[in-house]
């Protein structure tokens, strides 16, 4: 038992020693790890040290001296002073010829380092490896090839290493906070390490050896991309970079712009010195302001006509001959079309904002023509104002008689030419016109005769003639060139060859048939009429309520067509029948007395004041003296004829005798003592209306009311009488008074009784 306890004690001591040993080992490891971390941090000086000892490069020492405002480079500097340096900006105006950045490692808080001079020769970046606060480095135009010291500087935002000797970018792959990177003028061919730098907004890799730009496809935050002077031919990787505002691809091998069609935020685009012939995909980039397409193979610039925001367009050195499609770009300020094939700039005569139009150095090579001793070439060089530009220098002693340049060539020449020059520093048009000539052994003259106007050319025997432009004659269609003025044989320019003699070919024409359409209120007929012939006059059309006034070339207004003198023009025409409204008379007849109105067809007759007739009630205007149909002045419209409207009346009924009235004979009722009831004849109107007429309705309503005596014709009197008892009603009136008295008496006694009862209760 004791032995067992002793063993336990020994085991306990062993574990204690083991714990101490492990603690020491762990502590050593921690110290070693901490020591390793210290080595990658910026260095420190332990005591004040002269600047030129900390920074052995004399020129860099001067830069630091100025920053620290020390009297000279021998002045001592402390670590605290070095820690205060956050930015170094030194260009060739401040100091140059810097070969080493040794000493920079002591600038613990440095965030910006810019040593920009064309004659610096820095090659070693190791002093930067521990400066973890660095955000901006510009060491352009040095001799740097190794970027590995930068691999741990994860706070870097901006790097500019243009003009160095860099090939390998692998050490940049972890610098994910970079927003701006300039590697122009180096020796880079592989940009794969940049594929994860998704925060980049600006990237410049000008003048390198890059052919594959697919690693850029994920850099969707890019707004500025410069890839000039590389070996790029495929732009597919750029199709999704919709944030791009500026894109430069000068001097590559690009021939397809399709991937750029969706980059609608682009404001600046340079693709000069490539292999472009088609620029159609650019038509959707309507936000473009600056476009450079110089030195390509472009001939059609119509797709640019929709780029209304363009202010600068550089398209010199292409194969462009027509720039008229650009005349609608009203914001265009600079247009450079030098070294193309342009002969006419008149379409820009009204361009108000255009400040520069450079069209110098044009080379216009005409299609070859056969050599002729007497060669005539029409001048077609037109300046901004639309004026022909006179030749400046004409080869081979040629002369100019506007509008032709003329040569007398006794011997065959391969070509003739002339130069032209017009404008000033702001608007230039100059160049050379070259006319190649084809040698022919013997030439004969062919004359082209158009209605007596002749042109001619010479051509060799057994050669095909060049067909001239089809002549135009108003109202006629050109049918071909014939060997006679009329009839003869048509010349076939595809197969007929020049005979060994001079010939004349005549232009023949056929009259054009045109259509004359006659329109009567939308219904049309037509005639086919030859040019300058008369249109056959149709029968005058009719229209109810209107008078036909003639045929006109407009639906309303216009000019009247004279079928006897006006001849068919060289176009289809439509003649419209025009009419004037007929005036008609509406006569209003009141018992033989008439008034009248003149009313246009389908207009309303003005409603007159209702007429009166003593003893009668006016019931309306009718189209017959009796009966007929009542005229509604609000809706009935004037027909295509004169009308008469008759006032119709209904006879007023007699008043009924009131019971108790006495007539003149003392009897109750009418004058003759009979009851004053209307007879059937009294209820009939003078002119009996229809069953539905207002007259009958009024009469019926009259019969339903008790008859009243009316004294005189004044309505007021009738009202006054109706408010009083009728004659003979005295007894009834007395009874009424008695009844009222009884009621008052009863009320008096009832009130007295109530008062007495109240007093007794008190």
- pLDDT, residue 298, reads 98
Q: Smallest Cα–Cα separation from 355: which of 313, 406, 306?
A: 313
Work out the angle at residue 543's Cα, subtended by the Cα atoms of residues 541 and 545, and round it to the nearest 5 degrees. Answer: 145
- Cα–Cα distance between 670 and 429 in angstroms, integer? 119
Residue 214, SS3 per DSSP = helix
User: For residue 563, what are the CA distances in angstroms to 23, 516, 549, 550?
Assistant: 126, 12, 14, 10
- CATH superfamily for 584-722 is Listeria-Bacteroides repeat domain (2.60.40.4270)
- pLDDT, residue 9, reads 55
Q: In the CATH hierarchy, which fold is given to the domain comprising 516-581?
A: Immunoglobulin-like (2.60.40)
Identify any residues that bridge with 203 across adjacent strands, giving them in sequence order: 181, 225
Q: How many residues does the structure list for the chain?
A: 762
- pLDDT, residue 512, reads 86
Sign of CA dihedral 331, 335, 340, 346: positive
- Cα–Cα distance between 368 and 730 in angstroms, integer? 135
User: For residue 206, what are the CA distances in angstroms to 193, 703, 722?
Assistant: 17, 113, 117
Hey, what are 405's tokens? Answer: 């340049």
- Cα–Cα distance between 103 and 62 in angstroms, integer? 13
Same fold? 443-511, 516-581: yes
Question: Is domain 365-438 given the CATH code 3.40.50.12780 in the classification?
Answer: no
Q: Which residues of 624-659 are buried (b: 16+ CB within 10 A; e: fewer)?
A: eeeebebbeeeebebeeeebbbbbbbbbbbbbbbbe
Hey, what are 662's tokens? Answer: 């006495």
Work out the angle at residue 730's Cα, subtended by the Cα atoms of residues 726 and 734, and round it to the nearest 5 degrees. Answer: 130
- pLDDT, residue 462, reads 84
- Cα–Cα distance between 305 and 213 in angstroms, integer? 30
- pLDDT, residue 653, reads 86
What are the per-10-residue average pLDDT scores of the chain (762 residues)? Answer: 51 53 43 37 87 97 95 97 95 84 98 93 97 97 97 97 98 97 98 98 98 98 98 98 98 98 98 98 98 98 97 98 96 97 94 93 96 94 95 97 96 95 92 93 85 90 90 90 93 91 92 90 91 90 90 92 90 91 91 91 92 93 93 92 93 58 39 39 39 37 32 36 38 58 70 62 50
Q: Smallest Cα–Cα separation from 316: which of 284, 359, 353?
A: 359
Contact 668, 642 (CB under 8 A): no
Contacts of 10 (CB under 8 A, 6+ apart): none
41-142 CATH choice from 1.10.3660.10, 3.20.20.140, 3.30.70.20, 3.80.10.10 = 3.80.10.10
> In which residue are the tokens 């935002």 written?
157
- CA-atom Rg of the chain in angstroms: 57
Domain limits, the chain = 41-142, 365-438, 443-511, 516-581, 584-722, 730-762
- pLDDT, residue 543, reads 87
- pLDDT, residue 602, reads 87
Whether the upstream peptide bond of residue 403 has omega within 30° of 0, thus cis, is: yes
Q: What is the pLDDT of residues 616-628, one digit of tens each?
A: 999 999 999 999 9
- pLDDT, residue 745, reads 73
Question: Is domain 443-511 given the CATH code 2.60.40.4270 in the classification?
Answer: yes
Contact 260, 284 (CB under 8 A): no
Q: Smallest Cα–Cα separation from 444: which of 505, 367, 366, 379?
A: 505
């Amino acid at each position: 038992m004791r032995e067992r306890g002793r063993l336990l004690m020994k085991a306990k001591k062993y574990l204690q020693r083991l714990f101490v040993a492990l603690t020491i080992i762990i502590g050593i490891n921690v110290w070693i790890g901490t020591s390793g971390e210290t080595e990658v941090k910026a260095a420190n000086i332990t005591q004040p040290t002269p600047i030129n000892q900390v920074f052995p490069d004399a020129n860099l020492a001067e830069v630091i001296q100025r920053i620290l405002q020390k009297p000279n480079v021998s002045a001592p500097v402390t670590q605290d002073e070095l820690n205060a340096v956050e930015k170094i900006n030194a260009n060739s105006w401040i100091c140059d010829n810097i070969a080493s950045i040794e000493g920079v490692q002591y600038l613990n808080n440095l965030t910006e380092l810019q040593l920009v001079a064309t004659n610096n020769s820095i090659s070693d970046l190791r002093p930067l490896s521990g400066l973890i606060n660095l955000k901006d480095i510009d060491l352009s135009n040095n001799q740097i090839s190794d970027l590995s010291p930068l691999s741990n500087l994860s706070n870097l935002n901006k790097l500019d290493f243009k003009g160095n000797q860099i090939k390998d970018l692998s050490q940049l792959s972890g610098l994910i906070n970079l927003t701006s990177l300039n590697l122009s003028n180096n020796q880079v061919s592989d940009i794969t390490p940049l594929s994860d730098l998704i925060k980049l907004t600006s990237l410049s890799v000008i003048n390198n050896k890059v052919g594959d730009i697919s690693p850029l496809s994920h850099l969707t935050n890019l707004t500025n991309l410069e890839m000039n002077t590389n070996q790029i031919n495929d732009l597919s990787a750029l199709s999704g970079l919709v944030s791009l505002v500026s894109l430069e691809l000068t001097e590559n091998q690009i021939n397809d712009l399709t991937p750029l069609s969706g980059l609608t935020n682009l404001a600046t685009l340079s693709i000069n010195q490539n292999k472009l012939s088609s620029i159609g995909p650019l038509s959707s980039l309507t936000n473009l302001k600056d476009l450079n397409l110089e030195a390509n193979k472009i001939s059609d610039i119509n797709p640019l006509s929709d780029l209304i925001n363009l202010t600068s367009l550089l398209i010199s050195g292409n194969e462009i001959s027509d720039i008229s499609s650009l005349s609608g770009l009203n914001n265009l300020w600079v247009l450079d079309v030098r070294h193309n094939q342009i002969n006419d700039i008149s379409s820009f005569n009204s361009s108000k904002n255009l400040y520069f139009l450079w069209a110098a150095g044009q080379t216009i090579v005409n299609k070859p023509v056969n050599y002729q001793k007497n060669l005539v070439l029409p001048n077609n060089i037109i300046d901004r104002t639309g004026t022909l530009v006179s030749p400046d220098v004409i080869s081979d002693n040629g002369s100019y008689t506007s509008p032709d340049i003329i040569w007398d060539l006794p011997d065959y020449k391969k070509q003739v030419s002339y130069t032209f020059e017009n404008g000033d520093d702001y608007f230039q048009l100059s160049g050379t016109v070259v006319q190649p000539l084809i040698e022919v052994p013997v030439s004969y003259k062919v004359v082209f005769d158009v209605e007596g106007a002749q042109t001619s050319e010479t051509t060799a025997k057994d050669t095909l003639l060049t067909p001239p432009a089809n002549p135009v004659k108003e109202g006629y269609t050109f049918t071909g060139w014939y060997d006679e003025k009329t009839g003869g044989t048509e010349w076939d320019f595809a197969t007929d060859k020049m005979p060994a003699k001079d010939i004349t070919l005549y232009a023949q024409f056929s009259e054009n048939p045109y259509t004359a359409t006659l329109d009567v209120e939308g219904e049309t007929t037509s005639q086919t009429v030859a040019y300058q012939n008369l249109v056959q006059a149709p029968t005058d059309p009719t229209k109810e309520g209107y008078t036909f006034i003639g045929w006109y070339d407009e639906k309303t207004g216009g000019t009247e067509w004279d079928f006897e003198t006006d001849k068919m023009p060289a176009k289809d025409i439509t003649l419209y029948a025009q009419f004037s409204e007929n005036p008609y008379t509406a006569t209003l007849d009141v018992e033989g007395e008439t008034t009248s109105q003149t009313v246009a067809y389908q207009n309303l007759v003005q409603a007159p004041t209702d007429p009166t007739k003593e003893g009668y009630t006016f019931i309306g205007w009718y189209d017959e003296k009796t009966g007929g149909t009542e005229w509604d002045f609000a809706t009935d419209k004037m027909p295509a004829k004169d009308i008469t409207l008759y006032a119709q009346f209904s006879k007023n009924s007699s008043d009924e005798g009131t019971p108790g009235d006495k007539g003149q004979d003392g009897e109750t009722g009418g004058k003759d003592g009979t009851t004053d009831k209307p007879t059937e004849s009294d209820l009939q109107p003078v002119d009996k209306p229809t069953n539905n007429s207002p007259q009958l309705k009024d009469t019926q309503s009259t019969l339903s009311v008790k008859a009243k005596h009316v004294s005189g014709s004044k309505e007021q009197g009738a009202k006054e009488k109706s408010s009083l008892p009728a004659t003979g009603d005295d007894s009834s009136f007395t009874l009424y008074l008695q009844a009222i008295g009884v009621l008052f008496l009863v009320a008096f006694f009832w009130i007295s009784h109530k008062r007495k009862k109240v007093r007794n209760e008190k």
